[in-house]
Amino acid sequence: MRTETLDRFLSSVGEVILASSQLRTKAGDGGQTSGGLSAGLDRMERVVGDLQRRALGLRTAPLLRVVDALPRAAREVAAGLGKSVEVELRGAELELDRAILDRLADPLVHLIRNAVDHGIEAPDVRRESGKPLAGRLVIDARRERDYVRISVSDDGRGIDLESVRRRAVEAGVLHADLAADLAPADVAALVFRPGVSTAAAVSEVSGRGVGMDAVKAAIEGLGGRVELESRTGLGTTTTLLVPITAAMQRVLLVGLGAEQVAIPIAKVERVVEAALDALEVAGRETFTIVDDQPLLVIDLAARLGIEPALRGAVVPLVLAELREQRVALLVDRLDRQQEIYVKPLPRLLASARGLAGLTVLGDGRPVFLLDLNQLT
């Protein structure tokens, strides 16, 4: 069955769930809902919920659909570089949402090309290090509740942290005075910043400093995250943690003026309150102090062109991560957490920055899901 057909079917199921929620609300407007009606609505919601879960299951396909071609691609890259590589696939039978699988292909291809190009050493270098002449690349997938953890590991040279530190300074990503004191894990994370590469030299395969940041943006756009671990002389492991389904997401609903928007819970650290007069303006930007650190404050209403509510002396701030930067999102009110069914944006809004999808609440109001990475 085509994904488009399943999407339309799931959308119809979502409309039935919405209609039953509205019916329950209307039935209770004039007083307490009768026991018979309430029980009937409960049964209907259980049946429709089961139908929705089955439909979501039909959207899934095995990871093998994406990773099956990676061993051959790795060997071709290695041959072109005068190297040899063995590739092992684990957990390729795990199933994910087809929409997620389609967007995993490019990041995974980049990771294996990156590993072969400037992770795995040339045969003579490996011989001197006492390693097998053929490099080893393992692509391992494991289920973790509602997520799949996909790790790409090589037994190469590892990341040269001093080189990354130097390149980050040269690219203007990191100030020279701060570079020397940065912890190794924080230095390794710099490879996800635009313009910072792990390669010693630019090649036709990788190392142009425009790849790992794209990998991170693609995975975070799916509601996932990227982790990196490297040991000098032993290799590097890049892990992609992605949700199994793209259709259901847990979000924090917040109010902006008369409107309501949804923020993915995966991006939220916590919520704090701040005195409005404690927000300091410097040029075009606003800052506040949280945990003894200055944080950029983004006024979501202003950024999205929404008329804000009249704000009191204290305002709520949602601490979140935007492109490797911890920021504070200024909102007018906090509503609740909720699991939502995410619909694709209408065609007219598909190019709108900052919007990742659309849902409809039980009272019939449409709410946009924000793509925080597109707000900066």
Which pLDDT value is given to residue 225?
84
With contact defined as beta carbons under 8 Å apart, do 85 and 78 qualify? yes
Which pLDDT value is given to residue 108?
94
Question: What is the residue-wise DSSP string for 228-264?
Answer: EEEETTTEEEEEEEEES-SSEEEEEEEEETTEEEEEE
CA nearest to 66, candidates 213, 218, 234: 218
Q: How far is the C-alpha of 351 from the C-alpha of 132, rounded, in Å?
A: 49
With contact defined as beta carbons under 8 Å apart, do 328 and 311 qualify? no
Burial bucket for residue 113 (CB in 10 Å: 0-12, 13-18, 19+):
buried
Which pLDDT value is given to residue 157?
92
**Whether the predicted pLDDT of 201 surpasses 50:** no
Which pLDDT value is given to residue 210?
44
Q: What global pTM score does this model have? A: 0.66
How is domain 61-243 classified at the architecture level of CATH? Answer: 2-Layer Sandwich (3.30)
**Whether the predicted pLDDT of 62 surpasses 80:** yes
With contact defined as beta carbons under 8 Å apart, do 268 and 315 qualify? no
Q: What is the mean pLDDT of residues 58-66?
A: 87
Domain 248-374 annotated CATH 2.40.50.180: yes
Which amino acid, one-letter code, is at 181?
Answer: D
**Whether the predicted pLDDT of 11 surpasses 80:** no
- Report the mean per-residue pLDDT for the chain: 82
Q: What is the mean pLDDT of residues 327-353?
A: 81
Which pLDDT value is given to residue 208?
37
Lowest mean pLDDT among 159-163, 325-329, 346-350: 346-350
Q: How far is the C-alpha of 212 from the C-alpha of 196, rounded, in Å?
A: 9
Tell which wins on pLDDT, 228 or 138: 138
